[in-house]
Amino acid sequence: MKVLVIGGGAREHALCRSLSLDPDVNALYCAPGNAGISEVAELRPVDALDGDAVARLAVELGAELVVVGPEAPLVAGVGDAVRASGIPVFGPSADAARLEGSKAFAKDVMAAAGVPTARSYVCTTPEEVDAALDAFGAPYVVKDDGLAAGKGVVVTDDLAAARAHALACDRVVIEEFLDGPEVSLFAITDGVTVLPLQPAQDFKRALDGDEGPNTGGMGAYSPLPWADPKLVDEVMASVLQPTVDELRRRDTPFSGLLYAGLAITSRGVRVIEFNARFGDPETQVVLARLRTPLASVLLNAARGTLDTEPPLAWHDDAAVTVVIASHNYPETPRTGDPIEGLADVAAQDAPHAYVLHAGTRLAGDSVVSAGGRVLSVTATGSDLAQARERAYKAVARIRLDGSQHRTDIAAKAAEGR
């Protein structure tokens, strides 16, 4: 099978790595990709937001499956453009990707499907904003309705800050605060059949101890030894299947990856948000544990024949990923710094630990930073403690001037807390 992956972050590197290990895949392309992905896939330049350009590239390459990684192209309808050229696409239509692209739409779908989530108001005027903030009280949760690359959500005890964020958005969702640990559960679906993956946990704050600003994610681990073993079945029944059924009922069937961001509250599981694509950095740890070859699962989802797939098979191993971010991430990340030590990890830590590239590019013969999150150092082990140890050993070999990483990824879970 010839596969083209659209995107160029650590998630796409993880997808390309798994696809490159799949014996069914005989040609693998990534557009635009990054320096690390070039080791497992052939890179092609493309504007990932330009549906016609992506469709032309897919036709030119003779791709038999196109996997669209990031949310922005999905919301922009890149999947629709490629499908219109007759090539199967893993990734939802623009209409279905509104589940991620509009928080208000997601709330409406959840209400119709009876999916448990935070109570909320959609507000467009200062009067509505004040009434909603007053109704829920602190901590205030204020969400920009549209896509905001992880920067649209403010959770604060400060009424003035909550109000200021709300008034800066055209349309805003104000909701009840959910306490309890967060879990990310992904499912692959063709719009009818839903195959859940294994749960993972992401670390959103920049600094150890969950301090500092929100980021795109500083690390992740899977499995979750503290979680109820029935969690996946419960979320399948109360969240994933009803959401897929509701979108089909609306004639906007969702095929691709449905990402449920969940809070495990004292009153039960609640959806914090949906995403319409694999999450980053959770994908890095979930795919590290997936035993089933990926290509045929994605193709069956793209073709509407997911009911022919057996349940997914998993390694017993645990996986941990630690993100190495640029100087000044997430505010104004510095880029263009050389990265050293990649070959040392490949020589000394493989196959248990390896480096997935997020924001990198080739400058001559060297690899330099090209984004806020630069690398996602991933390791597997017989348990979280071993995976953690291997990941941090590899992190220590990487040299990137001014870089930062959290030192406590999966620490509590590894200690059984």
Q: Which residues bind ligand AMP (CB under 6 A)?
A: 118, 141, 143, 153, 155, 175-178, 182, 204, 261, 272-273
In the list ligand AMP, ligand GLY, none, the entry touching 349 (Cβ below 5 to 8 angstroms by class) is: none
What is the footprint of ligand GLY within residues 1-40 (CB under 6 A)?
none
- Gap between the Cα atoms of 382 and 384, Å rounded: 7
In the list ligand AMP, ligand GLY, none, the entry touching 272 (Cβ below 5 to 8 angstroms by class) is: ligand AMP
Instruction: Rule CB under 6 A: choose which of 12, 22, 282, 349 binds ligand GLY.
Output: 282
Identify the CA nearest to 321 among candidates 283, 351, 359. 283
Q: Rounded to the nearest 5°, which phi and psi values hold at 176? A: -65, 140
SS3 percent helix, strand, coil of the chain, rounded to 5, is: 35, 30, 35
Minimum distance, C-beta of residue 186 to ligand GLY, in the bound complex (Å): 10
DSSP state of 109: H
Minimum distance, C-beta of residue 154 to ligand AMP, in the bound complex (Å): 8
Q: 26 vs 6, 15, 31, 90, CA distance in Å?
A: 17, 15, 17, 18
Binding piece for ligand GLY, criterion CB under 6 A, among 22-30, 274-282, 398-406, 409-417: 274-282
Under the binding rule (CB under 6 A), the answer on residue 317 touching ligand GLY is no
Under the binding rule (CB under 6 A), the answer on residue 280 touching ligand GLY is yes
Nearer to ligand AMP, 178 or 400 (CB): 178
* DSSP assignment string, 45-92: ---TT-HHHHHHHHHHHT-SEEEE-SHHHHHTTHHHHHHHTT--EES-
Minimum distance, C-beta of residue 275 to ligand AMP, in the bound complex (Å): 8
Instruction: Rule CB under 6 A: choose which of 8, 191, 223, 279 binds ligand GLY.
Output: 279
In the list ligand AMP, ligand GLY, none, the entry touching 280 (Cβ below 5 to 8 angstroms by class) is: ligand GLY
Nearer to ligand AMP, 190 or 282 (CB): 282
Minimum distance, C-beta of residue 279 to ligand GLY, in the bound complex (Å): 3
Tally of CB atoms within 10 A around 172: 25
Q: Which residues contact 321 (CB under 8 A, 6 or more apart)?
A: 219, 220, 221, 281, 284, 285, 288, 356, 376, 377, 378, 379, 391, 409
Minimum distance, C-beta of residue 155 to ligand AMP, in the bound complex (Å): 5
Q: Which residues are paired to 319 by β-bridges?
A: 222, 380
- Gap between the Cα atoms of 395 and 155, Å rounded: 31
In the list ligand GLY, ligand AMP, none, the entry touching 282 (Cβ below 5 to 8 angstroms by class) is: ligand GLY
Q: Which residues are paired to 412 by β-bridges?
A: none
Q: Are strands 42-43 and 27-32 parallel, antiparallel or unpaired?
A: parallel
Give the distance from CA 320 to its chain's centroid: 15
Nearer to ligand AMP, 62 or 150 (CB): 150
Under the binding rule (CB under 6 A), the answer on residue 64 touching ligand GLY is no
Nearer to ligand AMP, 204 or 334 (CB): 204
Nearer to ligand GLY, 57 or 220 (CB): 220
Under the binding rule (CB under 6 A), the answer on residue 217 touching ligand GLY is yes
Tokens of 234: 């419960």
The closest residue (CB) to ligand AMP is 273
Minimum distance, C-beta of residue 368 to ligand GLY, in the bound complex (Å): 24
Under the binding rule (CB under 6 A), the answer on residue 275 touching ligand GLY is yes
Tally of CB atoms within 10 A around 158: 13
In the list ligand AMP, ligand GLY, none, the entry touching 217 (Cβ below 5 to 8 angstroms by class) is: ligand GLY
Which residues make up the interface to ligand GLY (CB under 6 A)? 202, 217, 275, 279-280, 282
